[in-house]
A and B are shown apart, each in its own frame.
Chain A
């Protein structure tokens, strides 16, 4: 059944020729070197003021940093389906030497395209599969969630927090848990309620989720969804909330306590730099506050000075690498000890979190 032999070798020769030409072209004197073309595939619109917006901001930072050495192109609204492969292939065809895929769902297409375009480097956000020319990167959003929790725990009057959550993947569960742990570090009495909207982005539904949480007594809201609807619902009801993915303070001036902002710029600049100076290597990167990938910004002046000081201590500790969020003793909802006293969680543990910590109410959506 395999009649691909001659075709494959022809294609291989062509690729090899292209690579050789490419290498020759790239090794011309620095002044005459063609700028590195970088492609960005976005799952949403640039204007979503959330996930994609943050990626695009970093793209612009890369342009500012490297000036004439790079040119960037981007395609938004690339669905996490068959079409992604076409977009990626087209980027390769257009001569991109580095391509960023900004959502988990591109994993399959990226692996496929990476295997045929071996001279192009691929960066996949939040994924877990790597290849010689494909590596993954992620942001320790749970650190942002923890810091928000610290503020939330100190600001809540009902000791009930609420989280509007998207899809029950480990990342989101980890964020919910970290938020709760942060709150409990200043206020051991808090409990957290969760609603799952099963979408990353659906403003009306997010608003409804926020309303349901507030109806049940939550007075500080957190979200893992991408729009400002939750914060706006909090504003309307006179409660508090946080921004997520980007600075959302203007969407709820009275309600806003702080925004957990992802900053992809430090990593993007490094990735581009790696390609430009030839030191790009595959691997998996997970950056946090220390490297500047996540931060809690625009903390509201309403937050009392003592609480803000506590936050600053945590932040400084995270920056220095001396503060560990997931440090034992940590118990799950059923009271089982998941982290023994003094034990610090490693990345493997963090990646596999599939339980609620004590203090989070409700059941995890079944499925696994």
Chain B
């Protein structure tokens, strides 16, 4: 494959981490909950996945991924109980989760740092990946890459074509109205948060089990925050999250690609791009009230108390 194609493939791999986490955050943000604990959940997922895979890999480390999703879900449930159930401040609670996650995984992960996972098999879809030419290009990725794509498609259908998705969005737009119609807003938000947490945990495991195949302190190194930016940049639409993830993920590869050709774009200036782009998008969609309504869940970040 040509150099460009290889770079694109690498971007897809790099972006899948962001895509999985971003789609998870999308689910809870669509319900109106902003969970700043993404980084913590990804770390805990990464560690849980790694620890499980060390002891009980299962087929293709399936158990590791399941454990990671479960761990992320548990942390999200804790966040949900506090922020949705009792009504604590969402931002502080989410930050506490991130802080706790960083410290806890550094602490609990110590026994796992010098360990080595079992040999990993080849990535890709069996048989299809061995097809000439198109095999490696399209079917040679890790299964989670395909999962991310499937999720994006599935979430698009769910959010915009299904009853349950409509309800989720309604809760995010106007919890008061949904409540008045008799829906259990807090329960729905809780489910959204848990689903989101599970995906963040899965994203973390992708890093520790597939992408880098090791565990060290602070493995995620800020990708949780990029994922938060991503959901905004993508105006809360699943397909855009996928593309945005590949774009953000590809920036590093692009930078390396350019470096080798002697083109020196200062790496820090390049590193600013995703964030500046997000701010610009935010400004663009917020300029008119109608556009905000169209693009951003209206109740994002606000506490909902039934009866108020």
Residues on A facing B (Cβ under 8 Å) = 45, 47-49, 77, 193-196, 198, 201-205, 207-209, 211-213, 215-216, 227-229, 232, 236, 250-251, 361-363, 365-366
- Shortest C-beta distance, B274 to chain A (Å), equals 14
Q: Provide the B265-308 mask, 1 if CB < 8 A to any CB of A, else 0.
A: 01110000000000000000000000000000000000000000
CA of A339 to CA of B57, assembled, Å: 55
The residue on B at minimum CB distance from A229 is B212
Which 6 pairs from chain A and chain B are nearest by CB?
Answer: A47-B113, A212-B256, A215-B6, A203-B212, A195-B256, A211-B10
Chain B nearest CB: distance from A247 CB in Å? 11
15 A-B residue pairings within 8 Å (CB atoms): A45-B113, A47-B114, A77-B217, A196-B259, A196-B267, A205-B221, A208-B10, A208-B253, A209-B256, A212-B7, A216-B260, A227-B214, A250-B116, A361-B260, A362-B260
Q: Chain B contact residues (Cβ within 8 angstroms of A): what range? A: 35 or more
Complex contacts, A228 vs chain B, CB 8 Å = 214
B219 within 8 A of A: yes
With A215-B6, A363-B264, A365-B264 already in contact, the answer to whether A204 and B212 are too (CB < 8 A) is yes
Q: Are A251 and B214 within 8 A (Cβ)?
A: yes
Q: What distance in Å separates the Cβ of A154 from its nearest Cβ neighbour in chain B?
A: 23
Whether the pair B207, A204 counts as a contact (CB closer than 8 A) is yes
Number of cross-chain contacts by CB at 8 Å: 97
Any chain A CB within 8 A of the CB of B14?
Answer: yes
User: Chain B's nearest CB lies how many Å from the CB of A252?
Assistant: 10
Q: Interface digits, B111-131 against A, CB 8 Å rule (1 contact, 0 not)?
A: 001101000100000000000
A209: chain B residues within 8 A (beta carbon): 256
* A193 to chain B: closest residue by CB: B260
Query: B174 an interface residue at 8 Å Cβ cutoff?
Result: no
Q: List 18 additional A-B contacts (Cβ < 8 Å) besides A208-B14, A211-B6, A361-B262.
A: A47-B110, A49-B113, A77-B217, A195-B256, A196-B267, A198-B267, A203-B214, A203-B219, A204-B223, A208-B10, A211-B10, A211-B253, A215-B6, A216-B260, A228-B214, A229-B214, A232-B214, A366-B266
Residues of B within 8 A of A208 (CB): 10, 14, 252-253, 256
Q: Smallest CB-CB separation from B264: which chain A residue?
A: A363
Are B214 and A362 in touch, CB under 8 angstroms?
no
What separation, in Å, do the CA atoms of A211 and B10 have in the docked complex?
Answer: 7
Residue on A nearest B249 in the bound complex, by CB? A208
How far apart are B288's CB and chain A's nearest CB, in angstroms?
39
> What chain B residues lie within 8 Å of A202 (beta carbons)?
221
Residues of A within 8 A of B261 (CB): 362
Contacts of B7 in A (CB 8 A): 212, 215
CA distance A208 to B221 in the complex (A): 14
- B1-41 interface code vs A (CB 8 A; 1 in, 0 out): 00100110010011001000000000000000000000000
Q: Contact at A212–B10, with CB atoms within 8 Å?
A: yes
Of A194, A211, A215, A363, most B-chain CB atoms within 10 Å: A215
Q: Report if B184 contacts A (CB, 8 A).
A: no
Of all chain A residues, which has the CB nearest B212? A203
Per-residue A-contact encoding for B206-222, CB less than 8 Å = 1, 0 else: 01000111101101010
Nearest-neighbour CB distance to chain A for B8, whole angstroms, equals 10
Q: Does B257 contact A (CB under 8 A)?
A: yes
Residue of A nearest to B252 (CB): A208
Which of chain B's residues has its CB closest to A232's CB? B213
Contact partners of B10 in chain A: CB under 8 A: 208, 211-212, 215
Least CB distance, B212 to chain A, in whole angstroms: 4
CA distance A196 to B270 in the complex (A): 13
**Cα–Cα, bound, A193→B259 (Å):** 9
Whether B253 and A212, one on each chain, are in contact in the complex, defined by CB atoms closer than 8 angstroms, is: yes
Chain A's nearest CB lies how many Å from the CB of B46? 11
> Smallest Cβ distance from B222 to chain A, in angstroms?
9
Kindly state the separation between the CA atoms of A232 and B216 in the bound complex, as whole angstroms.
14
Residues from chain A with Cβ under 8 Å of B106 in the complex? 45
Give Cα distance in the complex from A196 to B261, angstroms.
Answer: 13
Q: Which of the residues A77, A213, A227, A229 comes within 8 Å of B260, measured between beta carbons?
A: A213
Give the docked Cα–Cα distance between A60 and B139 (Å): 49
Chain B residue numbers with a CB within 8 Å of A362 are 259-262
Which chain B residue shows the least CB distance to A202? B221
Asked whether, in the complex, the Cβ of A204 is within 8 Å of the Cβ of B116, the reply is no
Q: Which residues of B contact A212 (CB under 8 A)?
A: 7, 10, 253, 256-257, 260
Q: A204-B219, A207-B212, A362-B259 are in contact. Are A48 and B264 (CB under 8 A)?
A: no
B252 contact set on A, CB distance < 8 A: 205, 208
The docked-state distance in angstroms from the alpha carbon of A365 to that of B258 is: 12
